Amino acid sequence: MTMKKLSTLTALTVILGASGAFADCGISAGRVSILSNDFPALQAMAAGAAECASATVAVSANQTTEHRDIQVAALTANPAEYTSAIVANSSIVPLMNEGLIRPLDDLIAQYAPDLPQLNRITIDGQVMAVAFMANAQHLFVRDDVLAQIGASAPSSYEDVLDVLAKIRDAGMMAHPFAMNTAAGWNLGEEFVNMYMGFGGELFEAGSAAPAINNATGLATLEMLAALNEYANPDFLTFDSNATQALWESGELAVAYMWGSRGGAVLDDENSTPVVTGNTSLIAAPTVGGGSLPASTLWWDGFTIAANISDEDAAATFQALMHGLRPEVISANNNAAVWLMDGYTPGAPAAGVAATANAGARPYPMLPYVGLMHTALGNELAQFLQGQESAEQALADVEAAYIAAAREQGFLQ
Amino acid sequence: MPHRTFLWFILPSLTAMFLFIAMPIVSVIVQSLFVAHEQVLVTVENCGPFGCTQETRVDREATAALREAQPLGRFNGLGTYVNRSHLATAELAQAWQSRESLGQFLGQLMNLPFYRALAFTLSFTFIVTPLVLVLGLAIALGVNGLPRLLRGPTIFFSLLPMIVTPLIGSLVLFWMIDAQGVIGATLQILFDDPNLSLKASPALTWLTLFVYGVWHSAPFAFIVFYAGLQTVPAETLEAAMIDGATRWQRVRYVVIPHLMPLAVFITLMQLMDNFRVFEPIVGFQAQASATSLSYLIYSHLRGDVQQFGSAAATSVLTILGVAILLTPVLIRTWRDFNRKRA
């Protein structure tokens, strides 16, 4: 072998090596089109999947916070507009109801036989989604503020109220608390979390009949009102972006926020070292003497559309698994609480892990829970503004839910 | 113009109106009379990262069979219109019978989503529309009195609120009125109240939305009136001046009567636009304190479960509302038209 030949061979190897990403996916042909929410963890996954693009494999992604509103229509088309929808506990339900996603058992057996049981969202014996990250709302606390008033990290909401009273009495902060209470979906979620913490059930067992208009519901509303006494009066407009900004500006001492914000809160952007250095992520508190944290656990996972060819389904499954391979996960370690190989739980994951370990329940995957969530989000604001009683608010939620559930055929 | 020519002339727009306005309205009306099928529920075991639970789900095959038999859904007649999410006739009757005072009945009324939305929508329409007319005329008169050199730039800046997309405009104002924002912080200093927040109380939220509505629409009235001002006959104005009319009397007795047809036009447009108020509610995150009929429709169609029947019924009620609002103005225009022809 002459030197010239050798160098040609080396060059060829380099080229092959550079295109190794294509070869790794092992997809011969197909269409991969992803519909998902828009946050850093999902962007990393989509970028990983996009590496599988080649002359015969088309990869595209639509990442939007409005994904839930278009997913049913987009997957109803035949062939479906997107070959995969990235869903969570609640948003998989409408896709299931309409039969728009396919069972993944055959694809898992062929391409990912080692996928742990943990990741397999199994419904009635069939794997319908592959979960890859977990999320939950939990407490963020400022250690320096707690130290100044001589308090330890609160483990119950009663402790939280105690801490907040001390902070206000000490004149340190006028509004030391915040949670995601924007009227609408966020507010509904806070009710569900607190209500679960009190051990409540949203529905009567085995039926779509509502079960929130009771003493547990009242206690839930009273606790939400007591907490928001310590929140900025604008609290009915607070979504995740607003509470994160408040936290990073150092105006809060205790906040109840999504774990997925942990990475962004703890990094050194948009905040000061005093705030980031003293922020601890701890479990969601218990409430009313209960033992379970007042929070619900969420998973994010991928599904594959039913109305696409087997070739596209196989290509999509392989590309998404490629986007979730250990190198991608470890490179984006702090972007989420991953449920995949390659993840090393760090400080941003501490709150979600503690909440899950303390036994928080998953958000219910019921076909009618979305209607209840909407009713809660729409009808509770007036109570929190002090315009109506807790009893009236719960009666309103119940009536609004029943009207909607009748219309959707869940109740007669 | 011969009738035949006229027909050919308007045929394209008639066809477009039939396809894109009449047909969708008919489809919405039909949709509003139906509700979703009865959902057949089964209990199955769900497993995930957090363990297994017994949960209810929809039996898809059984529900699909029902849907196959009746693709439109179950016929519900006017049921959707009278349920609690809309006209709430049963709740209203009960509230009326059990009322202790008129105030208490009104309180119950405002507790129902449709009436709460209607109250804000009507308040917005009837407060913003006249203010837009008055302010638009005032700006037009002011600009018309400026030296010619300054008019161009002034007109451009006066039009800005209308040029800015409503959603962007309301978001910009939303951030400015934040307690940390330039307007919010200034107000707190002016009123010496560190807890003053335009976003917190319903009354202040309504006020903010009204101010936004006027700010956004006044340029429209201004530019129409300004165009009208260029056509005011100079002879009449001079005659009035010779008769010793003050500036106010000239405006009152010469300019305003001349601009009246334009005022009717602006009123029509503003009534329609303001009755459909939507973007500022989203932009200002005001849904806790203020909802409108358009916002209700949006809210029915959002989220994990889309309620098409509800959205359709609210849409039809909105169309009826616009029709009722416009009737007096249209009758007036029709009479004027007939008088002129006679």
Mutation for testing the B interface, residue in A407, A411, A412 having most B CBs under 10 Å: A407
Mutation for testing the A interface, residue in B44, B56, B57, B188 having most A CBs under 10 Å: B56
Other residues' Cβ atoms within 10 Å of the Cβ of residue B285: 22
Helix (H) or strand (E) holding B75, with range, is strand B74-75
| Residue A20 banded pLDDT, cuts 50, 70, 90 | very low
* pLDDT of A2 above 60: no
Contact A146, A172 (CB under 8 A): no
- Distance from the B196 Cα atom to the nearest Cα atom in chain A, whole angstroms: 8
Sign of CA dihedral B41, A201, A160, A221: positive
What tens digit of pLDDT does each residue of A108-156 get?
A: 999 999 999 889 999 888 999 999 999 999 999 999 999 999 999 999 9
Omega before A79 cis (within 30°)? yes
Longest Cα separation, chain B = 92
What tens digit of pLDDT does each residue of A370-405 get?
A: 999 999 999 999 999 988 999 999 999 999 999 999
Which one of A233, A299, A400 has the shortest CB-CB distance to B200?
A: A233
* pLDDT of A23 above 70: no
Judging contacts by C-beta atoms under 8 Å, the chain A residues touching residue B113 are 378, 400
Q: What is the pLDDT of residue B200?
A: 81
* pLDDT of B244 above 70: yes
Helix (H) or strand (E) holding A179, with range, is strand A177-179
Q: Is the model more confident about A27 or about A206?
A: A27
The gap from C-alpha A349 to its chain's centroid, in whole angstroms, comes to 13
Query: What CATH number is given for B123-337 in this structure?
Result: 1.10.3720.10
- Distance from the B299 Cα atom to the nearest Cα atom in chain A, whole angstroms: 9
* A411 inside 8 A of chain B by CB: no
Say whether A400 and B113 touch across the interface (CB within 8 A).
yes
Tokens encoding B204: 């202040």
Sign of CA dihedral B187, B191, B194, B198: negative
Say whether B57 and A367 touch across the interface (CB within 8 A).
yes
- Distance from the B58 Cα atom to the nearest Cα atom in chain A, whole angstroms: 6
Q: What is the dihedral of CA A241, A243, A244, A250, to 10 degrees?
A: 140
* A186 inside 8 A of chain B by CB: no
- Distance from the B316 Cα atom to the nearest Cα atom in chain A, whole angstroms: 17
For A165-182, what is the mean pLDDT? 94
What tens digit of pLDDT does each residue of A187-221 get?
A: 999 999 999 999 999 999 888 999 999 999 999 99
Indicate the residue type of A263. Answer: G
What tens digit of pLDDT does each residue of B294-340 get?
A: 999 999 988 777 889 999 999 999 999 999 998 988 888 888 888 87
Other residues' Cβ atoms within 10 Å of the Cβ of residue A80: 22
Contact A280, A74 (CB under 8 A): no
- Distance from the A173 Cα atom to the nearest Cα atom in chain B, whole angstroms: 12
Helix (H) or strand (E) holding A71, with range, is helix A67-76
Q: What is the pLDDT of residue A28?
A: 87
In chain B, whose CA is at the least distance from the CA of A381?
B288
- Map tokens 């019978």 to a residue: B97
Q: What is the pLDDT of residue B154?
A: 92
A 163-182: CB under 8 A from B: 174, 182
Q: What is the pLDDT of residue A11?
A: 43
Contact B200, B112 (CB under 8 A): no
- Distance from the A395 Cα atom to the nearest Cα atom in chain B, whole angstroms: 11
In chain B, whose CA is at the least distance from the CA of A127?
B47
State percent of chain A over pLDDT 70: 94
For B269-288, what is the mean pLDDT? 92
For A353-373, what is the mean pLDDT? 91
The residues near B25 (Cβ < 8 Å, ≥ 6 apart) are: B319
Contact B11, A91 (CB under 8 A): no
Q: What is the pLDDT of residue B86?
A: 93
Choose among A237, A55, A202, A383: nearest CA to B287. Answer: A237
Judging contacts by C-beta atoms under 8 Å, the chain A residues touching residue B200 are 233-234, 236
Total count of residues recorded for chain A: 412
What tens digit of pLDDT does each residue of B169-206 get?
A: 999 999 898 877 899 889 889 998 877 888 888 899 99
Question: In this complex, how many residue pairs, one in chain A and one in chain B, have their CB atoms less than 8 Å apart?
Answer: 178
Residue B251: DSSP 8-state: I
Phi, psi of B88 (to 5 degrees): 50, 50
Indicate the residue type of B100. Answer: E
Q: State the angle between helix axes of B293-301 and B113-144 in degrees (0 to 180), rounded to the nearest 10.
A: 130
Q: What is the pLDDT of residue A172?
A: 92
Supply the DSSP string of A225-278, one letter for each residue. HHHHTTB-TTGGG--HHHHHHHHHTT--SEEEEEGGGHHHHHSSSSS-HHHHHT
- Residue B203 exposure: Cα atoms within 13 Å on the Cβ side: 2
Say whether B50 and A362 touch across the interface (CB within 8 A).
yes
State percent of chain B over pLDDT 90: 59
- Residue A166 exposure: Cα atoms within 13 Å on the Cβ side: 17
Supply the DSSP string of A267-321, one letter for each residue. SSSSS-HHHHHTEEEEPPPB-TT-SS-S-EEEEEEEEEBSSS-HHHHHHHHHHHH
Q: Please state, rounded to an integer, the average pLDDT across all residues of chain A.
A: 90
Parallel, antiparallel or unpaired: strands A30-36 and A57-63? parallel
Domain ranges within chain B, ordered by starting residue: 81-111, 123-337
For A96-103, what is the mean pLDDT? 91
Which one of B56, B84, B306 has the shortest CB-CB distance to A400?
A: B84
- Distance from the B67 Cα atom to the nearest Cα atom in chain A, whole angstroms: 11
Q: What is the dihedral of CA B165, B167, B172, B174, to 10 degrees?
A: 150
Say whether A408 and B301 touch across the interface (CB within 8 A).
no
Helix (H) or strand (E) holding A67, with range, is helix A67-76
What tens digit of pLDDT does each residue of A48-87 get?
A: 999 999 989 999 999 998 898 899 999 999 999 999 999 9
Which of A24-28, A90-94, B116-120, B208-212 is predicted with the least confidence, judged by mean pLDDT? A24-28
CA distance B143 to A404: 53
In chain B, whose CA is at the least distance from the CA of A389?
B111
* A131 inside 8 A of chain B by CB: yes
Indicate the residue type of B321. Answer: G
Say whether B201 and A385 touch across the interface (CB within 8 A).
yes
Parallel, antiparallel or unpaired: strands A361-362 and A57-63? unpaired
In chain B, whose CA is at the least distance from the CA of A235?
B200
Say whether B37 and A409 touch across the interface (CB within 8 A).
yes
What tens digit of pLDDT does each residue of B90-141 get?
A: 999 999 998 888 988 998 899 999 999 999 999 999 999 999 999 999 999 9
Q: What is the pLDDT of residue B138?
A: 95
Contact B287, B270 (CB under 8 A): no
Phi, psi of B48 (to 5 degrees): -160, -165
| Residue A24 banded pLDDT, cuts 50, 70, 90 | low
Q: What is the pLDDT of residue B342?
A: 67
Parallel, antiparallel or unpaired: strands A361-362 and A296-304? parallel
Which one of A207, A232, A378 has the shortest CB-CB distance to B179?
A: A232
Contact A68, B303 (CB under 8 A): yes
Which one of B49, B64, B288 has the shortest CB-CB distance to A381?
A: B288
Indicate the residue type of A305. Answer: A
In chain B, whose CA is at the least distance from the CA of A376?
B288
Residue B315: DSSP 8-state: H
Parallel, antiparallel or unpaired: strands A120-123 and A279-282? unpaired
Q: What is the pLDDT of residue A139?
A: 97
Say whether B289 and A184 touch across the interface (CB within 8 A).
no
